[in-house]
Structure formats: structure tokens, C-alpha cells
């Protein structure tokens, strides 16, 4: 029994698969279409279709260049050159000339450059001296104060444990009983004298007139196209948005004005330093000449504005130059403030591609069908006659009921055929003889049967 049942199920499944495979090539299915006469819904549908059509063609296809193959994997390299000569006026009314080798620190960086605008210079030798006056932890009265205190991370060297009280470093503090006592500073061994940030800094004059030459070389690997931001016949120029938009030479004053609009913030950036991002954005249409592809420059300040009172403001660092004279080690310590320019590049390139066009066209057709989708929602769920519409649009078919109805219809049809044949037979038997004879002359009609006396009721 189990084998027979298994064989029947296997035979049935095979028959279903065969029938499905056969219907795949012999039966065509199409959605049911319902025609609804509604001017309001039709006008709404046309308006939505027009809006989607304009959006699809004008924006997606033309403005966004949906017919092009895009490449965003840009490869780039920067070369930066700064030119300009500045000068510094010292406290003793001396003028120090500063050129590129002095204010570009370090001489070369990857995709970045630092330009010094302000600095504090301290000449030092290896010896023992008092700590900086600005260091609160270094104040003392006796040697035990320096021995018992933990060495601060801001110390200029290693403390020796001595407290130096001299008129040159003495600081007057007022005690509770309003008596004045002189205090000193702890002694340290290291580079002397200690750096003092409170001294007058030396500003680099004509800093804003310095120029920077930005050379950018790019490549789009997908299309094997190389390009640069310099024209072939480049001459001496300074970038200007209207008069010289293709010039890759910028003044530092223009860059600073574009990155920071507040004049007070710009002055503080020159004093304490800052960080600025220079971004080149490429958008190349390779269906045209490559010479027409030009970058768009943007300048953005990256460091925290001074008005927000950050914990660490501006941008600065220290460096030193060393030498030895008569066996004594010397160095010049420089605390440099300035602008750090960070280069960034982004871009894309597009070229006509038939495959991309065909794919985007199919997507646009799908977007165009959204109008019908929204109108169906309004029609079937939000309109007053939504129930009647759903009754015509959706058809629910129950397999068992449908089969029984088909069988019943066939039986009724067969019974009707049998009754019709019986009626005709009876009618034929009640026809008079003279009418039967007349059948050989003309066809028998229903009017002949009705006129027959035998067919009248008794």
C-alpha cells in the first residue's frame, strides 16, 4: 500500500511539473485592466505623470547625466610652492628679513604645508637657571619647597632642589597679614634661560601677500585619462574668481578671507595659528574636450574658532637649531605660529555608455509608474466608492467552488439539451399529417406548430 501511495504521489508530482513546464511555453498571462470613468482621478494621474516625466528627463537623465558611466576613483598628487619675502621688526628696532626657507617648516610635506606667521625666539645654552615665571608650581621660599614638590610636566628641565631668590626672578606675594615677602623660583638643569611665552612675539610682515602655487595632477583609471589644473600657456597671474578663474596661484590673504569671514578671528589666526583645508573638486565631462574640465576650489577652516574658547587654541609647535661654540652647546629655540594648509581632492568623470543609458531608462520607467501606484491607493482605499472599485478590480477565486460551479453548469447544459430534444420529439408527433407533408415543400417553423389545432390545449 505504501509503495502504491508513493508511486501515485510521484506520478502526480511528475504530471504537475510536466504540465507547468508545458504551460510555460504555451500560456500567456496578462494583468486585468479595469476602465474607470473619473475626470478627477484622470486629471490627478496626468499631473503626476507630467511631474515625474519632467523630473526623470530633466533632472535624472540630463542634469545628473544618467546616460554616462561614472568614475569616482580619482588618483591625485599635489605640489605646493610658496613665494614671498617678509620681515620682522624686533624690540631693539632691528629688521630681520625672512624668506621661504625661514617660514616654510618643514620644507616638504605630503599634501600639506605650514607657513609661519608669528614666532617666539629664545637663545639658550646648557646650564642651570631658574624656572619660567609663568609656572605656578615653580614658586618657592626655601629649598624644601622644591624638593617636596612633584616635578611638573610643564617644567623646562630637571629640578635640582634649590630655590633661587634673586631680584631678577623675585615675585612679590601678599600674605594674610598684609606683609610682603619675596618668593623665588625653583632651579632646573637644562637649556637656559627658560622660554617665556609672555614676551612680545615677532610677527612676519607682508604675510598676507605671500602666494602659493597649487599644482594638482589627477587620473581617472577607468577611462585612463590624466589631467592637471594648469593651462598649457600659463603666465604670471594671481587667482581671481572673475578675472583669472583658471590661475592656480593664490594669495594667502584671499585664502584666509575665504576660510574665515570674521576679521577678529583672522587676526587671532595670524597670531596664534590655524588650520585650513583647501579642497579641489573635479567634475569632468569626457564627452567634451578634457581641457574644459577645471576644478572648483573651496577653503574651509578646520580648527575651533577662538570665540568658543577652546582648550587648545590655534596651531603651533617648537623646533630648534643647535651648534657648539668654544665647547659650549648652544641652540635657538623657536615657537612657531602660523597657518597649516591641508590639501584634499575629490571628483568624478563621466562618459556616454549605452549600457548605463538602458539601465537608467528602465529605472525611469519604473519611477514613471509611481503615478499609477498612488492613484490606485486613492481609488481603492481613500475614495467614497472604494468598495465598488475593489469589487471590480480584485477577483477572488476559490478552487473547490469554482470546480463545482463548472460541473454544475455542464450538467445544466446537458439537461437543457435533453429537454429540448424531448420537446421537439413530442411536438413532432403532434403535428398533423398535412403539415408533415408540407415539410417536403418548405421548412417547418415554430409558427406552423402554434397554428396546428392539435397543439392547442384541451
- Mean pLDDT over 329-353 rounds to 94
Residues 6+ apart with CB under 8 A from 84: 100, 206, 207, 209, 210, 211
pLDDT score at 125:
95
Q: What is the DSSP letter of 131?
A: P
pLDDT score at 414:
53
Query: Does the pLDDT of residue 6 top 90, yes or no?
Result: no
Mean pLDDT of the chain: 81
pLDDT score at 1:
55
Judged by average pLDDT, the poorest of 84-88, 329-333, 444-448 is 444-448
Q: DSSP for 173-230, please give it.
A: EE-TTS-EEEEEEEEEEEEESPP-TTSPPEE-BTGGG-EEEEEEEEEETTTTEEEESS
10-58 confidence digits (pLDDT tens)? 777 788 888 777 777 877 767 777 787 888 888 988 999 899 989 988 9
CA proximity to 191, closest of 137, 163, 162, 155: 155
CA proximity to 86, closest of 109, 116, 107, 112: 116
Residue 174: pLDDT band (50, 70, 90) is very low
pLDDT score at 169:
43
Judged by average pLDDT, the poorest of 267-281, 288-302, 356-370, 385-399 is 385-399
pLDDT score at 351:
93
- Mean pLDDT over 75-83 rounds to 94
CA proximity to 116, closest of 205, 234, 225, 21: 205
Residues 6+ apart with CB under 8 A from 35: none
85-114 confidence digits (pLDDT tens)? 999 988 888 899 999 999 999 998 999 999
pLDDT score at 411:
58
Residue 432: pLDDT band (50, 70, 90) is very low
Question: Degrees (nearest 5) of the Cα angle 53, 55, 60?
Answer: 110
Largest CA distance in the chain: 162
385-426 confidence digits (pLDDT tens)? 788 777 777 766 665 554 555 555 555 555 555 444 444 444
62 or 456: which leads in pLDDT: 62
pLDDT score at 389:
77
- Mean pLDDT over 352-378 rounds to 88
Phi then psi for residue 22, to 5 deg, are -70, -40
Name the burial class of residue 307, with classes exposed (0-12), middle (13-18) and buried (19+) by CB atoms within 10 angstroms of its CB. exposed
Query: Does the pLDDT of residue 140 top 80, yes or no?
Result: yes
Cis peptide before 193 (omega within 30 of 0): yes
pLDDT score at 452:
46
Q: What is the DSSP letter of 151?
A: P
pLDDT score at 23:
77
CA distance 221 to 291: 18
Amino acid at each position: 500500500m505504501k509503495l502504491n501511495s508513493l508511486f501515485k504521489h510521484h506520478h502526480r508530482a511528475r504530471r504537475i511539473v510536466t504540465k507547468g513546464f508545458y504551460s510555460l511555453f504555451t500560456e500567456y498571462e496578462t494583468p486585468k485592466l479595469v476602465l474607470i470613468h473619473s475626470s478627477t482621478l484622470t486629471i490627478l494621474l496626468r499631473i503626476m505623470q507630467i511631474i515625474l516625466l519632467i523630473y526623470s528627463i530633466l533632472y535624472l537623465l540630463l542634469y545628473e547625466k544618467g546616460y554616462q558611466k561614472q568614475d569616482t576613483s580619482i588618483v591625485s598628487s599635489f605640489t605646493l610652492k610658496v613665494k614671498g619675502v617678509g620681515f620682522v621688526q624686533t624690540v631693539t628696532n632691528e629688521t630681520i628679513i625672512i624668506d621661504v626657507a625661514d617660514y616654510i617648516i618643514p620644507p616638504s610635506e605630503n599634501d600639506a604645508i605650514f607657513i609661519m606667521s608669528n614666532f617666539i625666539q629664545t637663545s639658550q645654552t646648557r646650564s642651570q637657571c631658574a624656572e619660567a615665571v609663568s609656572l605656578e608650581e615653580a614658586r618657592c621660599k626655601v629649598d624644601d619647597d622644591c624638593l617636596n614638590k612633584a616635578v611638573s610636566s610643564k617644567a623646562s628641565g630637571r629640578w635640582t632642589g634649590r630655590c633661587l631668590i634673586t631680584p631678577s626672578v623675585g615675585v612679590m606675594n601678599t600674605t594674610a597679614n598684609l606683609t610682603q615677602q619675596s618668593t623665588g623660583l625653583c632651579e632646573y638643569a637644562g637649556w637656559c634661560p627658560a622660554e617665556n611665552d609672555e614676551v612680545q612675539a615677532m610677527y612676519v610682515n607682508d604675510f598676507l601677500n605671500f602666494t602659493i602655487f597649487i599644482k594638482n595632477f589627477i587620473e581617472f583609471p577607468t577611462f585612463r585619462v590624466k589631467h592637471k589644473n594648469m593651462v598649457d600657456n600659463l603666465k604670471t597671474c594671481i587667482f581671481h574668481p572673475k578675472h583669472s578663474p583658471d590661475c592656480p596661484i593664490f594669495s594667502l590673504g584671499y585664502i584666509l578671507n575665504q576660510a574665515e569671514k570674521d576679521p577678529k578671528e583672522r587676526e587671532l589666526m595670524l597670531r596664534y595659528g590655524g588650520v585650513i583645508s583647501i579642497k579641489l573638486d573635479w567634475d569632468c565631462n569626457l564627452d567634451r574636450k578634457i581641457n574644459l574640465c577645471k576644478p572648483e576650489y573651496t577653503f574651509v577652516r578646520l580648527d575651533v574658532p577662538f570665540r568658543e574658547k577652546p582648550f587648545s587654541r590655534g596651531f603651533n609647535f617648537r623646533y630648534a637649531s643647535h651648534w657648539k661654540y668654544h665647547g659650549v652647546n648652544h641652540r635657538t629655540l623657536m615657537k612657531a605660529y602660523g597657518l597649516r594648509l591641508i590639501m584634499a581632492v575629490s571628483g568624478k568623470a563621466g562618459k556616454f555608455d549605452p549600457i548605463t543609458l538602458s539601465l537608467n531608462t528602465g529605472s525611469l520607467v519604473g519611477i514613471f509608474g509611481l503615478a499609477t501606484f498612488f492613484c490606485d491607493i486613492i481609488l481603492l482605499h481613500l475614495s467614497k466608492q472604494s468598495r465598488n472599485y475593489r469589487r471590480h478590480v480584485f477577483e477572488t477565486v476559490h478552487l473547490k467552488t469554482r470546480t463545482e460551479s463548472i460541473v454544475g453548469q455542464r450538467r445544466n447544459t446537458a439537461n437543457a439539451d435533453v429537454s429540448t430534444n424531448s420537446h421537439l420529439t413530442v411536438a413532432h408527433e403532434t403535428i398533423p399529417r398535412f403539415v408533415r407533408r408540407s415539410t417536403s415543400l418548405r421548412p417547418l417553423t415554430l409558427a406552423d406548430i402554434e397554428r396546428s389545432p392539435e397543439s392547442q390545449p384541451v
